[in-house]
Amino acid sequence: MLKYLFDWFLFSSCFIAGCALLMVVQTNQLLSLHYDIYGYLVFVFFSTLCSYNFHWYLSADATSENERVRWTLHHKQLHLVLTAIGGIVSIWYFFHFVEHWIWLGGAVLLTFLYSAPKLQFGPFAWLSKIAVGKTLFLAFVWMYVTTFLPIAIDDHHWHAASFLFCTSRFLLIYAICIIFDYRDRDYDKKAGIRSMITYFNERGINNLFALSLVGFAVSTIALYFYGFSALTIVLLLVSGVITAALYPVAKKNFSDYLYYFVLDGLMMFSSLLTIFVSNK
């Protein structure tokens, strides 16, 4: 029963939606943002629920071996229901923030375009042929929704620390996305989905991963010079250290629980630390 409940929580995308929510909470806390925070948190949770369930509804043939796809094949109707619920709530709160429609519209478009190549007809199928930056694109969407967009809605905190925090978060997420793409590279090649990971050899992928984490560390440490405490910097760096340590393990162990719980969870892990430990 516990495994069933955990699988439901994880594979229904409630977990990843919760991760997005906590990442927004961290952005609000560390950058001292002021806007309708609770309304935006609802928007982010349900829009993430909508987009991920829609993506997985279209991805049931990704592989025949992993736990998530087997779960998806048995719960496709649930994916549709959660997509609909998430979509309805997201649309409601989209109009709640309608004065920021340009920024929100960008988030909606970017999120849809990530899953659009899964729609194998018309111009959508063509997108898979040109999506060389698939990994970059996904990392950017996550940074945009959880970091850049709250700053844009607040519109009073455009300063160096904001851009450094955006960069730090983007590069950490990008490093994590590289691991996912490494696992999926054979499927992506067969499906005709292009990314830098499908082009690079093993050494190139390792260098790209290392470069991402170095950039993450540099941009994070630089926040110290813009008012962030040494404790907060250390807490932010923890996720990068764990990601680096797990990299050789994740290249050999393709467990869904490692990827969709541990690695996805690393995106928001520092949020848990700073929310309860740091005052900035």
**CA-based nearest residue to 270, from 226, 230, 236:** 236
Burial of 70: CB neighbours in 10 Å, binned 0-12, 13-18, 19+: middle
**CA-based nearest residue to 169, from 231, 132, 213:** 213
- What is the pLDDT at residue 218? 98
Tell me how far apart the alpha carbons of residues 132 and 130 are, in angstroms, rounded to a whole number: 6
Cα 37 to its chain centre, rounded Å, is: 19
Which residues share a beta bridge with 133?
A: 195
Q: What is this structure's pTM?
A: 0.90
Tens-digit pLDDT profile for residues 188-203 = 666 666 667 777 888 9
Tell me how far apart the alpha carbons of residues 143 and 112 are, in angstroms, rounded to a whole number: 15
Q: How many CB atoms sit inside 10 A of residue 101's CB?
A: 12
- What is the pLDDT at residue 98? 84
Over the chain (280 residues), the average pLDDT of each successive run of 10 is 92 96 96 94 95 84 69 92 95 88 81 65 56 74 95 90 97 95 77 69 92 98 95 97 97 93 96 82
- What is the pLDDT at residue 116? 61
**CA-based nearest residue to 117, from 127, 129, 131:** 127
Q: How distant, in Å, are the alpha carbons of 43, 118, 122, 261 from that of 48?
A: 8, 17, 25, 16
| Residue 39 neighbours by CB under 8 Å, 6+ apart | 93, 96, 97
| Residue 70 neighbours by CB under 8 Å, 6+ apart | none
- What is the pLDDT at residue 152? 93
Task: List the chain domain ranges.
Answer: 2-275
- What is the pLDDT at residue 64? 46
Q: Please say whether the beta carbons of 180 and 263 come within 8 A.
A: yes
Cα 247 to its chain centre, rounded Å, is: 17
> Which residues in 43-84 belong to E strands, given as ranges?
none
